Structure 1
Amino acid sequence: MAGGKTINSVFRRLAEEETIRRVQTGLYDYPRYSELLDRTLGPDIFQVASALARKFKWEIQPDGASALNLMGLSTQVPAQYLFHSDGPTREYQINRTKLRFKRVATREMKFKQPESAVIVHGLKSLGPDHINDKTIAKVRDWLPEAKRRQVLRDTQTVTQWVRAAIREICKEPVHG
């Protein structure tokens, strides 16, 4: 069995060779290259947040703007990503992006399906006046068909206008 020093030296060597990239202490990713931008992209903030949540055994859910970004409803790259958490409030700096975890009451973390939380927080941040057919279609495309029934069950107690939008999102598309 390799010791801690051996493992650290392997990670250090792989990072020097640019096979992996050190994101934070004990957290690495595989760098992605964009042909279009002709450069290496920064780490995927959602994967970093998920990795930190696994490490600390937190439950997390993206806040409204982060949820919109995740579903493709917003193309703006936020300078800060906010996640609701059942763990402590913490901040991390990932390159030039701030990653924040904000402790919220457990009752606000009640969703069993991660997709439910993303949709509810995203729709709430848009508000009822900004939900239209295009928004519904975009979220429907993002939500795997296999998850729709689970999301419907999971969101039975949300605000009425959010529930109505989720019912539309989870409707079977008409093919013709």
Structure 2
Amino acid sequence: MQSIDDKVIAKIKKAKRGSLFFTEDFLIYGSAKAVAKVLERLEEKNDLTRVARGIYARLEIHPIIGILTPSTENIAKAIAKRDKARIIPTGILALNALGLSTQVPMNVVYLTDGAARKIDLGKRKILFKKTAPKNLAAIGKISSLVIQALKVIGKDNIEETEKQIILKHLSKEEPYRLEHDIRLAPEWIRVIMRQAIKASSNE
């Protein structure tokens, strides 16, 4: 019979480098205490890296850069997938994703319909803020980011250059997603989104 160690190692080695694991992924092989001990041993041998409490990674190795740590975005997505929750970037993270800010936030914030929580990644942190389902109803990846980014900028603070960047992004959104998501935005944001819809229909 395979030991718990062998089963855990086999599962990890089957996964591609860069994959994230949660302690509960291995509970089919043994108790939480036994699994924790196995993961601890693998960490000591550098076969696995502890990213945060209960979260581990089989690190990717770039031929030039070397070891690549998982991005906060990938960690957030993995947690959302595990929890079967929806998430959407907000704040500086949304601005950064659209090229409206060069600031790289140390604390990234996501709205979620899952549990509110803070994931400590050492110098970095991921904050999940509980929100109403309607705030997660957008179906367009670009349009949902735009809505969040514009809320951060504010109605009276948006500059023409920022508006043009946003319109350029929205031109890449699928029209039916844009038509759906415009209904979820405040009126002043709808004005900008309508311009994008009008531009795409004229092409």
1:119 aligns with 2:166: no
Task: Tell me which of 38, 48, 51 is aligned to 2:75.
Answer: 48
CA distance 1:107–1:173, shift in 2 (3 Å): closer
Tell me, yes or no, if the aligned pair for 1:137 and 1:169 is still in contact at 8 Å. no
Partner of 1:150: 177
CA distance 1:39–1:75, shift in 2 (3 Å): farther
Residue 33 of structure 1: CA displacement? 5.4
Aligned residue runs from structure 1 range 162-173, under 5 A: 162-170=189-197, 171-172=199-200
Q: TM-score, normalised by structure 2?
A: 0.67
1:16 aligns with 2:46: yes
1:5 aligns with 2:33: no
Secondary structure of 2:142's counterpart equals helix
For the residues of structure 2 that align with 1:75 and 1:29, how far apart are their CA atoms? 29
* RMSD (Å) for aligned C-alpha atoms: 3.3
Q: Deviations over 1:104-129 (max 9, x none)?
A: 12222222233332111111111123
Tell me, yes or no, if the aligned pair for 2:90 and 2:111 is still in contact at 8 Å. yes
CA distance 1:49–1:144, shift in 2 (3 Å): farther
Residue 153 of structure 1: CA displacement? 2.4
Secondary structure of 1:16's counterpart equals coil
1:136 aligns with 2:166: no
Matched to 1:28, the amino acid is: A
Uncovered stretches (5+) of structure 1, i.e. residues with no partner? none
CA distance 1:168–1:39, shift in 2 (3 Å): farther
Partner of 1:72: 99
Tell me, yes or no, if the aligned pair for 1:34 and 1:41 is still in contact at 8 Å. no
CA distance 1:174–1:105, shift in 2 (3 Å): closer
For the residues of structure 2 that align with 1:64 and 1:39, how far apart are their CA atoms? 31
Q: TM-score, normalised by structure 1?
A: 0.76
Task: Tell me which of 35, 48, 57 is aligned to 1:28.
Answer: 57
Residue 94 of structure 1: CA displacement? 1.9
Residue 79 of structure 1: CA displacement? 1.9
Count matched residues. 170
Q: Deviations over 1:42-79 (max 9, x none)?
A: 43211211111001111111122221112221111112
Residue 30 of structure 1: CA displacement? 4.6
Uncovered stretches (5+) of structure 2, i.e. residues with no partner? 13-41
Higher RCO structure (Cα 8 Å, ≥6 apart): 1
For the residues of structure 2 that align with 1:138 and 1:3, how far apart are their CA atoms? 56
